[in-house]
Structure 1
C-alpha cells in the first residue's frame, strides 16, 4: 500500500496553475494528467454515470494487466451533491489518500462536473444549430433542398467553374399538367404527388454527384457534379421513365416531365444566366409536346 503523504499545498498550486485557463474537455484532460502525475498512476479515467450507464469522458489509455491493478475512486458530484461519475485512479499498488488531499481532489472533481455540464450544453447547442441550419435550407413539404439553398449552391459552383476546378450540369424540371392533378384530385393529393416525385428523385440520385432542389410549386432542379451533359441526359431519361412507371400504378396515372438541361460554363456572366437558360429550355420542352428533355 502506498501512503500518499504529499504536500497538499504544492499539489493544489500545481493543479490550479495547470488548469487555470482550461475549460471543457481541456480542463478534464489536464486535471486527469495532473492527478496521474501526483499518484504516479498507470491510468486515469473520467467516467460519467447516466441512468445506470457509465460513459467514458476521458482516459489516458494505458494498457496493463487487470489482475495487477488497484482502483481508487474520487467521486464527481454536481451542485446538488449528487454523484454523477468518478475519477478512477488505476495503480499497481493500493493507494491510501489522506483526508486533506482527498478534499483538494474533490474541489477539482466538482469543477469536472461543471465542465461535463458545459460540454453537454455545447453539444446540445451544436445539435440545435445543425437542426436550424437544416430547416433553413430544406423544403418543408418534400425535404429536398429549397430555393434559398439552390441559389447559394449555384453561386458557389459558378465560382469554382470560373477557376476550372469542377464541371457541372443543371437540370430544370417541371411536372407536366400538374394543375390538372390539383383540379382533379385536390391540393392534398397534389402534395402527395410532389412528395412521391421527390422520393423518386432521392432514391435514384447519385451520392456526392446529384444535388436535388424544389424551387417551388411543381418545379425542381438537379445539379450534377463532374458529369458530362450526355451522361446527365441519360440519367434524366431514366428518371423520366421511372416517374412514369411508378405513377402508372397509382390513381394519378401517367405523369411526365419537361426538362431543360444546361452545362455550367464560365462564359456566362453569372449563375442566374445559366438558371434562366435551363428554364427557357424547359419551356421549349413544354412547347414541343412535353415529356421531353431539351439540352
Structure 2
C-alpha cells in the first residue's frame, strides 16, 4: 500500500468520524466510541503487518499488544456509558487497561535485540511485575466499575508519568539506533509517543469536563492513525552515522528502563502501599542486578572465545603466528631462568606450490589440514606447541626436554606425514615434509631471534639436501 493512499485513508477516517457526529447527533456517543475503538485496532493491525516484514518483530508485536489493551479500555468505557447508561463514572478496569497499554511499549524499549532466552525471561518478569503494580495502584483509587474524581486525579498523574517516560526513552532509543529496522521502529514509536503525550495531556487536563461524543474525539484518533500511517508506509530505513559512545551507552542502559519504571511506580505507591513499594524497589534492584551479572558472564565468555579465536589459525586449528610468537617468548624466558636449553622445529611441505597448481586450492587446504593434524598428533607433550607459521610452513616449539629428543620428534613427524600417502605433484610419490631443527643448549640471551635463524637455516639445508628429510644442524654459532 502506497504512502499517499495510507494518508488519504486516514484523512477519510477522520472525515467520516466528524461527519457521523454532525449527521447523527442522537447517536453521537456510540458512533464516536466505534471510531475511537477502531483507530487503535487499525493501528495494532498495521503494526502486526509491519512486524511480519521487519527484523524488529518483537517491537512491532509489543506495540500491537499495547494498541489492543488501549482499545479494550475504550470498549469498557463504551459498555459503561452506552450499555449501562452511566456517563458519570469511569470503570476502574478501563483505567487499568489505559495504563497497562504502556507496559508492552516499555518492554519493547528495554528489550535489546538478539538476547538469550534467560535475559528475555527476566525482562518479561519485570514487565509483568510492572503491570501488577499498575493494577494495584489503579484499584487503590478506583473500583471495578467506578473511578471517582479523586481517583481519576491520582490516575492522571500516573498517565502523565507513564506518557512522559515512554516518549523520552523512545526518543533516546531512536537517536541511538544504528540498525535500519530498529531505527524505523523506534522512530515510529517516538512520533506516536510524543503525539499521544500531547493529546493525552490536552484531554486529561484541558477538556476534563467533556464527555465522549463531541468533535474533540477526532483529536484522540490522530496518534493512532499516525501510527498506522508510519507502520504501513514502505520504509526500509537507512544507515545513519551515530556516535559510537551514544550507541554503546544506550545499548548497555536500555535494560534498565524496566527497572526504572518499577522504581518510579513504586515511588508513587509509597503512601498507599508502603510494603509493596519497598518490594517493588527490591525486585527492581534484584532483577536489574541479576540481569547485569548474567550479561557480564556472557560478555566474559564471549571475550574468552574471541581471545581464543584470535590465537587459532582458522584453516588448520593450530596456534597462529601470534600465539606462536608469544609461546616462543614465554618458553625462551622459562629456559633462560632455569638455564635449560630449547629447540625449535621449522616444517615445510615439499613442493606445495606445485601441489596447488595441479590439484587446486581446495585440495591444498585439505592437505594443510591433514598435515597439521598429523604434526599435532606427534607432539603429545603439553609443553610442545605446534603452530602454523605461514603458508605451508609450520613451527614446533620444543621446551623442557633433552635436546636430543627434538630430532627424534622431527623424524616421527616426517615419517607420519609420509605414511599419509597423500598424492603429490610428483606422480608416484606422496606428500612429504622437510624439517629444520634449531637448538640452543643453554639460553643466555634475551632474544630468541638466533634460534629462529638457526631453525630456518636447517630447514633450507634439509630442502637443499633433497627434501623429505630432517636436518638437525641448526645451532647458533
My pick for the range that moved more, 158-167 or 217-226, is 158-167
Q: For 2:400, which of 206, 211, 226 is the aligned residue?
A: 226
Query: Are the counterparts in 2 of residues 76 and 109 from structure 1 also a CA contact under 8 Å?
Result: no
Which residue is 1:65 aligned to?
none
The 2-side partners of 1:76 and 1:179 are apart by 56
Mapped partners of 2:464, 2:383: distance in 1: 30
Distance 1:128 1:280 in 2: 41
SS in 2 for 1:110: helix
| Kept in 2: contact 1:76–1:106 (CA 8 A) | no
Equivalent in the alignment of 2:447: 270
Does 2:468 match 1:291?
yes
- Alignment partner of 1:146 is 2:193: no
TM-score between the two structures when normalised by the length of structure 1: 0.62
Contact 1:137–1:148 (CA<8 Å) still a contact in 2? yes
**Which structure features the higher share of helix residues?**
2
**CA positional deviation for 1:165:** 6.5
Q: CA deviation at 1:209?
A: 2.1
**1:78, 1:110 within 8 Å by CA — same for their partners in 2?**
no
- Paired residues for 1:1-295 under 5 Å: 78-81=125-128, 104-164=278-338, 167-246=341-420, 248=421, 250-252=422-424, 253-264=429-440, 265-268=442-445, 270-295=447-472
For 2:126 and 2:318, how far apart are their aligned partners in 1? 45
Number of the residue aligned with 2:165: none
Aligned-partner Cα distance in 2 for 1:77–1:136: 36
5+ residue gaps, structure 1, are 1-49, 53-74, 84-98
Preserved CA contact (<8 Å) 2:432 2:468: yes
Counterpart contact for 2:349–2:393, Cα < 8 Å: yes
* 8 Å CA contact retained: 1:259, 1:285: yes
TM normalised by structure 2 equals: 0.40
Q: What displacement does 1:166 show?
A: 5.6
Q: 1:76 to 1:291 in 2, by over 3 A?
A: closer
Structure 2: distance between partners of 1:167 and 1:127: 37
Distance 1:82 1:176, change over 3 A: farther
Deviations 1:17-41 (A, max 9, x none): xxxxxxxxxxxxxxxxxxxxxxxxx
Rg larger for: 2
Q: What's the secondary structure of 1:173's corresponding residue? A: strand
TM-superposed deviation, 1:284: 0.7
Q: Is the CA contact 1:146–1:215 (under 8 Å) kept in the aligned structure 2?
A: yes
Between the two proteins, the alignment pairs up a number of residues equal to 207
Report the RMSD for the aligned CA atoms in angstroms: 2.8
